[in-house]
Structure 1
Amino acid sequence: MDKVILETPDDTMAFGRALGAVLRPGDLVLLAGPLGAGKTTLTRGIADGMGVGGRVSSPTFVLARVHEAGQTGVPLIHVDAYRLGGDLSQLDDLDLDTDLESSAVVVEWGEGSAERLNEDHLVIRLSREDDDTRTATLEPHGEWADRTDSLTALIR
């Protein structure tokens, strides 16, 4: 497991940009961590790295937001599974498995439910060290095991 120290919100954005630049259709990224750990900030960075349009904010009340493809040609689907509380039927209603074929999907609070969408997925576990500093622990699954080395090299 790779760990990345993100000392400022700008570092979290930069890490997200690096990840967003390499995402491709079918990629599934799960963001885990407590409230205020930086999941939405990281997602903003991912969206910026993908060049997708529209404001990126936590989709807590709508569950999912679709951002049209930008410079990478890959749309982003941003999901917040916090309100689902483990109710997988609502996750199924979003048809993410269909959208996953043509989009990159980032799921906040998806651990324990969204992994089943794709055995090849990346879990990024964020923890707060203090007001600004975060630690991102990368837990690759499937083909992501080969991809995380190049990702962490980009941001070091």
Structure 2
Amino acid sequence: MKFLSAGTRRCDTAAETQALGEELGRAVEPGDVIILDGPLGAGKTTFTQGIARGMQVKGRVTSPTFVIAREHRSTVGGPTLIHVDAYRLIAEGASGDPLGELDALDLDSALEDSVVVAEWGGGLVEQITQSYLLVTLDRETLVLEDPESEGRIISWRLEQWQ
């Protein structure tokens, strides 16, 4: 991945969140895995929309909560974006075998030609790769400072899976 291995940025608007995602999207390479962490409403899908724009992929990026994963093919011969929402795999009431359900998605075999962006994927999705970029979206800090704030603090770091 041709992106800074660690950093933090304040994004005061959804457009700034998408712009940071777009920077990352221009830097990703086939085989990259990005795990997005943050509470409901933190901007994970908004960030992914920016990644998709940077990767120049087809289709409108929306939360894949009900389908678990969506593929967006490149318009310029680049990697496919696989957008995963792992929440349903790990949520209470799920099948009880989230790793088995993840394996059924066959992400690891698609990984050599794709970039996987997983919302709610921590503790699960990193098992398909040796290294991944963990992106944390903090929506609470800026709202505590100013309840009218639309901002978030986005931090990222490259992680290794044992």
Q: TM-score, normalised by structure 1?
A: 0.87
Deviation (angstroms), 1:139 = 1.9
Q: 1:106 aligns with which of 117, 124, 130?
A: 117
Look up the match of 1:63.
Answer: 68
Q: Does the 8 Å contact 1:51/1:72 carry over to 2?
A: no
Q: Does the 8 Å contact 1:50/1:72 carry over to 2?
A: no
Q: Structure 1 segments of 4 or more deviating over 6 A?
A: none
Look up the match of 1:45.
Answer: 50
Deviation (angstroms), 1:72 = 5.8
Give the alignment's Cα RMSD to 1 decimal.
Answer: 1.2
Q: Aligned partners of 1:80, 1:21: CA distance in 2, in Å?
A: 22
Report the structure number with the largest CA radius of gyration: 2
How do residues 78-89 of structure 1 correspond to structure 2 at under 5 angstroms?
78-85=83-90, 87-89=98-100
Look up the match of 1:119.
Answer: 130
- The residue type paired with residue 141 of structure 1 is E
Task: Provide the aligned length of Structure 1 versus Structure 2.
Answer: 142
Q: Deviation digits for residues 76-110 of structure 1, max 9, x if unmatched?
A: 00000011117111111000000111101100000
SS of residue paired to 2:21? helix
Q: Does the 8 Å contact 1:64/1:78 carry over to 2?
A: yes
Look up the match of 2:25.
Answer: 20
- The residue type paired with residue 150 of structure 2 is D
Q: 1:36 aligns with which of 29, 35, 41?
A: 41
Q: Aligned partners of 2:76, 2:9: CA distance in 1, in Å?
A: 26
Structure 2: runs of 5 or more not aligned: 1-5, 92-97, 144-148
SS of residue paired to 1:100? helix
Q: Aligned partners of 2:80, 2:39: CA distance in 1, in Å?
A: 27
Distance 1:84 1:19, change over 3 A: same
- The residue type paired with residue 139 of structure 1 is R
Q: Deviation digits for residues 39-60 of structure 1, max 9, x if unmatched?
A: 0000000001111010100000
Q: TM-score, normalised by structure 2?
A: 0.84
User: What is the identity percentage for the equivalent residue pairs of Structure 1 and Structure 2?
Assistant: 48
Look up the match of 1:91.
Answer: 102
